[in-house]
A and B are shown apart, each in its own frame.
Chain A
Amino acid sequence: DADVTQTPRNRITKTGKRIMLECSQTKGHDRMYWYRQDPGLGLRLIYYSFDVKDINKGEISDGYSVSRQAQAKFSLSLESAIPNQTALYFCATREDMNTGELFFGEGSRLTVL
């Protein structure tokens, strides 16, 4: 089983719908991240969290919200999806050290029509 699991892997929805992307991890890391990837734009940070009470906005948090339900679970919500939120979304975890690498989930491809 993957250490970082994202669900759903693919989702097509309509403008205005509420969408939740879920992430769970078995690595025991406190740090969890949500990134968005668009062609030519690399990975852009949406939100990151150090524990259930510590959630921080990233570069592009507008239109998104998150919930850290437990150390192992970090969910990303789009309250009212719009077409320019069509992208590939990655969840990642990281060791609590400055040289710690990110461990990524397999990604969730979201299409908003």
Chain B
Amino acid sequence: QKEVEQNSGPLSVPEGAIASLNCTYSDRGSQSFFWYRQYSGKSPELIMFIYSNGDKEDGRFTAQLNKASQYVSLLIRDSQPSDSATYLCAATSGTSYGKLTFGQGTILTVHP
């Protein structure tokens, strides 16, 4: 089992809709979780991080963490074509300090 798994894509949503990206993790000791966005041919860039149970909002983005279910999600409200990218979920390790493991990524396409 992969340490971090993301919902299989690709995901396609119309402009203005809510895009929902999901991630599960297997290491119960994981403390911090990150969502990165990666445009084709570019480096990943951080969108949000979360380490407390519940929701964390930043503009059109909301990260949700449920440690009991070992589940992290990212909601993108009012999706724009410029949000079309690969989204990567990452989690810190509960046993190897400083180790950060990524999921396989979900490709999101927002169509006009």
A106 proximity list for chain B (CB < 8 A): 42-43
Q: Which residues of B contact A1 (CB under 8 A)?
A: none
Task: Give the contacting residue for A94; candidates B43, B100, B102; CB below 8 A.
Answer: B100
Chain A: how many interface residues by the 8 Å CB criterion? 25
Is B34 interfacial (CB 8 A cutoff)? yes
A74 at the binding interface (Cβ < 8 Å): no
Q: Which residues of B contact A44 (CB under 8 A)?
A: 102
Kindly count the residue-residue contacts between A and B in the assembled complex, taking CB atoms under 8 Å apart. 58
A104 and B32 in contact, given A42-B88, A98-B92, A99-B49 (Cβ under 8 angstroms): no
Within 8 A of A (CB), among B1-57: 6, 31-32, 34, 36, 42-46, 49, 51
Q: Tell me the chain B residues, 67-99 only, with Cβ under 8 Å from chain A.
A: 88, 90, 92, 96, 98-99
B43–A43 CB distance below 8 A: no
Question: Contacts A99-B32, A99-B51, A102-B44; is A41 near B100 (CB within 8 Å)?
Answer: no
Shortest distance between the CB of A61 and any CB in chain B (Å): 12
* Distance from A50 Cβ to chain B, minimum over Cβ atoms (Å): 6
A79 in the interface (beta carbon within 8 A) = no
B contact residues vs A (CB 8 Å cutoff): 6, 31-32, 34, 36, 42-46, 49, 51, 88, 90, 92, 96, 98-105
* The 8 nearest A-B residue pairs measured at CB: A104-B43, A42-B104, A43-B102, A101-B46, A42-B105, A42-B102, A98-B32, A99-B32
